[in-house]
């Protein structure tokens, strides 16, 4: 396997904040380093400042004074987008409706005064790479959403930009198409070895595409880390809740044992007092009533094919969600025991 | 009662909805047009008891008589001046005000209203103002020209100048309306397209204009063109109030000639021929514009 790290332009964001003219504080001062060739995903709920950050990197917005954006060793803060050499895929695609597919892809090359031969060979290359050869003479209105997205990607990378910026490129597409294009984009980013910043509010997209994920909330960075770190070691309750499903169990610790509503859990080395522990649905198993750590009553059963998701009441103050292998059958009202993998327990 | 199928009932409803309006259209427009067309082949005079069919005589007069030809060429010249200038100025003003809205919104709104004023005001009233401005000896325009050392002009009584003066007033009157249409068109262009063009390296204003603004404004421009063309073909109020077609028919236009022949000289037959020629001009113009350009401005 080729290691793509080290190629591509690194991006450094230094103390970038953004206050819009109407007074909206979209971004608190933020610093972040993105390595050359890395794919970083900005993940967070709608309105948390992901697009604003991306636009600051692109040069479409300027940060409040004091903020700086660096591409490698160059301070590009004052450089407008047209001189930053970035490729951008807009959420709305933003393809030119008066041009056909080929002309859209060729546009940036022509503006940059590439020779006619270079333009056409590069366009061919893009059509090949995105597998849209048969669409080359179509106008944009004759394309489906997925096809438009491919053309938008082709246009963005045709000019061989230093960095590729993608703002929720798959959000407008249906689930199946989203899955397929996600795989394609992943392959593309690895093959190109280009530095990429990808904005999404979809955690599955973030998990599968990102070398690192930047979780954002209310204009702040909540956590930066690899998908594994974000999933298994969330730094605060917001991140824990936003990524995947997280159970909360509250109670009081006495002599290293947590007593909750439906039973008790042994914890190592925790001071006495009230506490809340967190664990993932897959870190708990259904045991026999009597021997298990917690006792509860099944209030919801969702058969998902390969596994079954159970909602269990009375184990804690809030319902606990547990996932088990699909073969065993449950019914609502049934009393069950719950055991938690103690190594997977988080205390924040 | 006979049970009608759902389709038939829907069809009847459609007819019922479209019927009265179509009937009114037929009675009020098509019938008069046909009547006028017939009259144009006669020597009918208002109030006369009889008339004779004289074939194409009226048309021949209009197209060969110096006065008739003058009205036609004057109208074409007027249209040829007003269309491009009022459209180009309106587009420039609209682009300026559209851009200004983001950094000086109140000023942009004030200017917008100012440009629209001539559209809202009655032209007959405005004509009085123009008459005073353009008065050869006490008019503001000549006073100003004299002040900067240029000779004053007889704007409305110089044969070589009068049509251009009227065209200038026509442009002044049309810019505001066209500007409002262009502003609406500009507001509908998605900002992302400009950003995409910039991202692709279009770093000059005119590159963005040709890549985004002009093509996206296509349908608006076509509409403005059609409206401006038909309106300027109909030029009448300024002629009637400021020059009465003079001096010596130098500012005579089709609709003013139509009014004079029909309502001053009561030559209904001749006036009808002028009407038909006018009608054909406007029809041909409109059909060409829609037929030729419609396909090129909508991207489907
Ligand atoms: N041009 C703007 N003017 C004023 N407020 C804005 C503008 N753009 C975005 N905002 C506000 O800034 C915040 C962050 O927006 P954005 O970065 O688009 O969020 P996200 O992409 O994460 O959904 C939101 O509250 C949004 O309403
Ligand atoms: Mg966004």
Alpha-helical regions (H) of A66-197 = 101-111, 116-129, 145-158, 175-192
User: CA geometry: angle at B265 spanning B259 and B269, to 5°?
Assistant: 75
DSSP per-residue string spanning B176-228? HHHHHHHHHHHHTS-HHHHHHHHHTT--SHHHHIIIIIHHHTHHHHHHHHHHH
Q: Which pLDDT score is estimated for A6?
A: 46
Kindly determine whether residue B193 and residue A107, on different chains, have CB atoms separated by under 8 Å. no
What percentage of chain B has pLDDT greater than the value 70?
Answer: 97
The residue of chain A nearest to residue B211, with distances taken between CA atoms, is A96
Span B143-162, average pLDDT: 84
The residue of chain A nearest to residue B191, with distances taken between CA atoms, is A94
Residue A213 contacts by C-beta under 8 Å, 6 or more apart in sequence?
A: A40, A41, A43, A206, A207, A223, A224, A225, A226, A227, A230
Ligand 1: atom nearest CA of A61 is 1
Residue B151 has pLDDT above 90, yes or no: no
Every domain of chain B and the residues it spans: 63-296
Rounded Cα–Cα distance for residues B59 and B72 (Å) = 12
Q: Which pLDDT score is estimated for A3?
A: 42
Indicate the pairing of strand A39-43 with strand A195-200: parallel
For chain A, list the domains and their CATH numbers: 11-242 (3.40.50.300), 247-344 (2.40.50.140)
Chain B CB contacts of A96 below 8 Å: 193, 196-197, 211-212, 215
pLDDT tens digits, one per residue of B202-243: 888 888 899 999 999 988 998 899 889 988 988 888 888 888
- Whether cis (ω within 30° of 0) applies to the bond prior to A22 is no
Residue nearest to atom 8 of ligand 1 (CA): A52
**Where are any strands of DSSP class E within chain A?**
11-19, 25-34, 39-43, 68-71, 74-75, 86-89, 163-167, 195-200, 212-217, 220-225, 247-254, 257-260, 263-266, 273-279, 284-287, 294-303, 307-313, 320-325, 335-340, 346-347
pLDDT tens digits, one per residue of B79-107: 999 999 999 999 999 999 998 888 888 88
Output the CA torsion sign for A289, A295, A299, A300: negative
Query: Rg of chain B's alpha carbons, rounded to an integer?
Result: 24
Site from A80, A98, A106, A163 to mutate, B interface, most B CB atoms within 10 angstroms: A98
- Residue A336 has which token pair? 């069950």
Question: Does the beta carbon of A245 lie under 8 angstroms from any beta carbon of chain B?
Answer: no
Q: Which pLDDT score is estimated for A2?
A: 39
Residue A30 contacts by C-beta under 8 Å, 6 or more apart in sequence?
A: A13, A15, A16, A17, A53, A220, A221
- Residue A304 has which token pair? 């998902």
Distance A49 CA to ligand 1 centre (A): 6
Mean pLDDT by 10 residues, chain A (348 residues): 59 94 93 94 94 95 93 93 92 91 94 92 92 91 91 92 93 85 90 93 91 95 94 89 88 86 82 87 84 89 86 88 83 89 84
Mutate to test the pocket of ligand 1, among A52, A61, A91, A218 (most ligand atoms within 8 A of CB): A52
State the residue for tokens 């909602």. A311
Q: Which pLDDT score is estimated for B124?
A: 79
A346, β-bridge pairs: A278
Predicted complex ipTM: 0.81
- Residue B122 has which token pair? 């009655």
pLDDT tens digits, one per residue of B11-30: 888 888 888 888 888 888 88
Rounded Cα–Cα distance for residues A258 and A270 (Å) = 9
Band (pLDDT 50/70/90 cuts) for residue B1 is low
- Which homologous superfamily is B63-296 in? MetI-like (1.10.3720.10)
A-to-B residue pairs, Cβ atoms closer than 8 angstroms: 66
pLDDT tens digits, one per residue of B241-295: 888 877 888 888 888 888 888 788 888 888 888 888 888 888 888 888 777 777 6
For residues A197 and A9, the answer to whether their CB atoms sit within 8 Å is no
Ligand 1: atom nearest CA of A199 is 21
Residue nearest to atom 2 of ligand 1 (CA): A20
For residues B220 and B185, the answer to whether their CB atoms sit within 8 Å is yes
pLDDT tens digits, one per residue of B103-128: 888 888 888 888 888 777 777 788 88
CA atoms within a 13 Å half-sphere pointing along the CA-CB vector of A342: 13
Indicate the pairing of strand A346-347 with strand A273-279: antiparallel
Q: Count CB neighbours of A38 within 10 A.
A: 22
What percentage of chain B has pLDDT greater than the value 90?
Answer: 21
What is the distance in angstroms between the Cα of B297 and the nearest Cα belonging to chain A?
Answer: 9
Indicate the pairing of strand A74-75 with strand A86-89: unpaired
The residue of chain A nearest to residue B295, with distances taken between CA atoms, is A98
Provide the 3-class DSSP secondary structure of residue A78. coil
B229 Rama sector, left if φ>0, alpha if ψ -120 to 50, beta otherwise:
alpha
User: CA geometry: angle at A156 spanning A43 and A51, to 5°?
Assistant: 30
Provide the 3-class DSSP secondary structure of residue A104. helix
pTM of the complete model: 0.80
Kindly determine whether residue A92 and residue B190, on different chains, have CB atoms separated by under 8 Å. yes
List ligand 1's pocket residues with C-beta within 6 A.
A 20, 22, 24, 26, 44, 46-52
């Amino acid at each position: 396997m080729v290691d793509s790290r080290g190629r591509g332009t690194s991006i450094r964001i230094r103390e970038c904040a953004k206050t819009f003219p109407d007074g909206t504080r979209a971004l608190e001062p933020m610093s972040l380093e993105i390595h050359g060739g890395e794919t970083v995903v900005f993940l967070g709920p709608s309105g948390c400042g992901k697009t604003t950050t991306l636009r600051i990197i692109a040069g479409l917005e300027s940060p409040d004074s004091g903020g700086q954006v660096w591409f490698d060793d160059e301070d590009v803060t004052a450089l407008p987008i047209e001189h930053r050499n970035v490729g951008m895929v807009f959420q709305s695609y933003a393809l030119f409706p008066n041009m056909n597919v080929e002309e859209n892809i060729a546009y940036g090359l022509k503006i940059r005064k590439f020779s006619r031969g270079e333009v056409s060979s590069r366009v061919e290359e893009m059509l090949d790479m995105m597998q849209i050869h048969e669409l080359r003479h179509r106008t944009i209105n004759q394309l489906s959403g997925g096809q438009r997205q491919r053309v938008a990607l082709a246009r963005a990378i045709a000019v061989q930009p230093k960095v590729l910026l993608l703002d929720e490129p798959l959000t407008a597409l249906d689930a199946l198409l989203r899955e397929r294009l996600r795989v394609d984009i992943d392959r593309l980013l690895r093959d190109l070895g280009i530095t990429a910043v990808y904005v999404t509010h979809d955690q599955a997209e973030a998990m599968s595409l990102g070398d690192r994920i930047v979780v954002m909330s209310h204009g702040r960075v909540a956590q930066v880390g690899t998908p594994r770190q974000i999933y298994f070691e969330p730094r605060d309750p917001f991140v824990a809740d936003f990524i995947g499903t997280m159970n909360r169990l509250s109670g009081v610790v006495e002599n290293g044992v947590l007593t909750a509503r439906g039973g008790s859990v042994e914890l190592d080395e925790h001071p006495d007092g009230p506490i809340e522990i967190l664990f993932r649905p897959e870190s708990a198993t259904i045991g026999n009533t009597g021997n298990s750590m917690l006792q509860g009553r099944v209030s919801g059963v969702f058969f998902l094919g390969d596994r079954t998701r159970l909602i269990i009441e009375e184990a804690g103050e809030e319902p606990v969600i547990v996932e088990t292998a699909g073969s065993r059958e449950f019914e609502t009202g049934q009393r069950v025991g719950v055991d938690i993998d103690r190594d997977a327990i988080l205390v924040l | 009662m006979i049970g009608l199928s759902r389709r038939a009932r829907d069809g009847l409803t459609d007819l019922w909805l479209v019927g009265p309006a179509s009937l009114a259209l037929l009675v009020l427009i098509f019938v008069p047009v046909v009547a006028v067309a017939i009259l144009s082949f006669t020597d009918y005079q208002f109030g006369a008891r009889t008339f004779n069919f004289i074939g194409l005589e009226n048309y021949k007069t209009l197209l060969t008589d110096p006065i008739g030809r003058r009205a036609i060429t004057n109208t074409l010249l007027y249209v040829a001046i007003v269309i491009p200038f009022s459209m180009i100025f309106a587009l420039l003003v609209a682009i300026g005000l559209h851009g200004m809205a983001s950094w000086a919104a109140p000023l942009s709104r004030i200017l917008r209203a100012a440009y629209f004023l001539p559209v809202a005001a009655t032209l007959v009233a405005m004509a009085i103002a123009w008459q005073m401005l353009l008065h050869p000896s006490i008019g503001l325009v000549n006073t100003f020209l004299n002040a900067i050392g240029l000779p004053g002009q007889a704007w409305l009584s110089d044969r070589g100048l009068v049509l251009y003066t009227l065209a200038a007033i026509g442009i002044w009157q049309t810019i505001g309306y066209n500007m409002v249409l262009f502003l609406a068109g500009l507001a509908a262009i998605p900002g992302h397209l400009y950003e995409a063009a910039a991202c692709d390296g279009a770093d000059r204003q005119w590159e963005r204009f040709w890549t985004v603004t002009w093509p996206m404004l296509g349908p608006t421009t076509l509409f403005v063109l059609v409206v401006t063309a038909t309106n300027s073909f109909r030029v009448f109020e300024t002629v009637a109030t400021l020059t009465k077609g003079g001096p010596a028919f130098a500012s005579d236009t089709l609709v003013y000639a139509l009014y004079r022949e029909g309502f001053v000289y009561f030559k209904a037959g001749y006036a009808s021929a002028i009407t038909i020629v006018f009608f054909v001009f406007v029809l041909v113009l409109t059909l060409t514009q829609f037929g030729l350009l419609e396909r090129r401005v909508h991207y489907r």
